[in-house]
């Protein structure tokens, strides 16, 4: 990355973070370019050098959050969609420390960001991210486990809403419980103590 690219990237990150901070306090439609620029400490001409409008920035901010999240997983744990058919079933169980530990660590380190993403889920376009993950990863995985097509969306929503509720409760308690403890709680809720012999330790 050359100096100009680095400067561009740093400015973009500042504006991403400014927008995230503003989204904690108000809905997107009430956020102005002036507020973003003041918080990011950039002038309006710099904003327009990067974006046409706030919607452009919102799309970039959503991508910034998504990239930050997925970067917390090791390359080994990132299963490529094209390999799902050949991956052993045991490796397709995502309620394991291999996946839960980086996920919960990221949330602990980015609690405000996670809460804002949940609150502004629709506004920030995370339905698209969810649909992409469902179609490319989760649907094929559930198919491998023999889950009927009609049941898959319901089952996945049940898991995601339940896990999110546990995480939000943890964040409300300032993450006083350890990552390992919350990982065990999620595992108990999703898998059930009687079936944990299937989970990879």
Q: Residue 50 belongs to a domain with what CATH number?
A: 1.10.357.10
Position 201 pLDDT exceeds 60: no
Which residues, 6 or more positions from 187, have their beta carbon under 8 angstroms from its beta carbon? 95, 96, 100, 196, 199
**Residue 65 covered by a domain:** no
- With 0-12 CB in 10 A as exposed, 13-18 as middle and 19+ as buried, what is 90? exposed
Instruction: Find the mean pLDDT for residues 132-137.
Output: 87
Whose tokens are 């930050």? That residue is 68
pLDDT band at 194 (very low <50, low <70, confident <90, very high): very low
Task: Considering only residues 191 and 46, tell me which one the structure prediction assigns the higher pLDDT.
Answer: 46
CA atoms of 1 and 122, how far apart (whole Å): 33
Instruction: Find the mean pLDDT for residues 64-68.
Output: 87
Query: Nearest Cα to 99, choosing from 128, 61, 137, 132?
Result: 137
Instruction: Find the mean pLDDT for residues 40-56.
Output: 92
pLDDT of residue 82: 65
Whose tokens are 């660590």? That residue is 105
Position 196 pLDDT exceeds 60: no
| Same-domain pairing of 187 and 131 | yes
Give the count of domains, the chain.
2
**Residue 172 covered by a domain:** yes
pLDDT band at 79 (very low <50, low <70, confident <90, very high): low
pLDDT of residue 35: 96
| Same-domain pairing of 53 and 125 | no
pLDDT of residue 2: 39
Considering the entire predicted model, what is its pTM?
A: 0.77
Query: Nearest Cα to 125, choosing from 40, 168, 72, 65?
Result: 65
Asked if 28 contacts 123 with a C-beta cutoff of 8 angstroms, the reply is yes
| Same-domain pairing of 38 and 85 | no
The per-residue pLDDT of the chain, averaged, comes to: 85
For the record, the structure tokens of 48 come out as 């327009």
Domain that holds residue 24: 1-60
| Same-domain pairing of 81 and 24 | no
Which residues, 6 or more positions from 200, have their beta carbon under 8 angstroms from its beta carbon? 90, 93, 96, 98
**Residue 77 covered by a domain:** yes
pLDDT band at 7 (very low <50, low <70, confident <90, very high): low
pLDDT band at 198 (very low <50, low <70, confident <90, very high): very low
| Same-domain pairing of 113 and 165 | yes
CA atoms of 199 and 187, how far apart (whole Å): 9
């Amino acid at each position: 990355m050359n100096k100009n690219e680095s400067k561009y990237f740093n400015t973009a990150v500042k504006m991403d973070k400014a927008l995230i901070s503003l989204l904690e306090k108000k809905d997107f439609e009430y956020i102005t370019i002036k507020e973003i620029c003041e918080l990011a400490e950039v002038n309006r001409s710099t904003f327009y050098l990067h974006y046409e409008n706030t919607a452009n920035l919102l799309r970039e901010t959503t991508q910034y959050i998504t990239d930050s999240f997925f970067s917390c997983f090791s390359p080994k744990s990132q299963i490529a969609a094209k390999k799902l058919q050949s991956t052993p079933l045991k490796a397709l169980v995502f309620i394991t420390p291999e996946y839960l530990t980086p996920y919960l660590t990221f949330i602990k380190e980015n609690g405000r960001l996670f809460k804002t993403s949940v609150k502004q889920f629709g506004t920030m376009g995370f339905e698209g991210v969810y649909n992409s993950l469902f179609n490319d990863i989760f649907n094929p995985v559930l198919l491998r486990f023999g889950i009927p097509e009609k049941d898959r969306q319901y089952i996945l929503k049940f898991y995601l809403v339940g896990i999110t509720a546990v995480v939000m409760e943890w964040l409300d308690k300032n993450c006083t419980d350890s990552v390992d403890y919350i990982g065990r709680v999620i595992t108990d809720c999703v898998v059930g103590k009687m079936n944990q012999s299937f989970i990879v330790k």
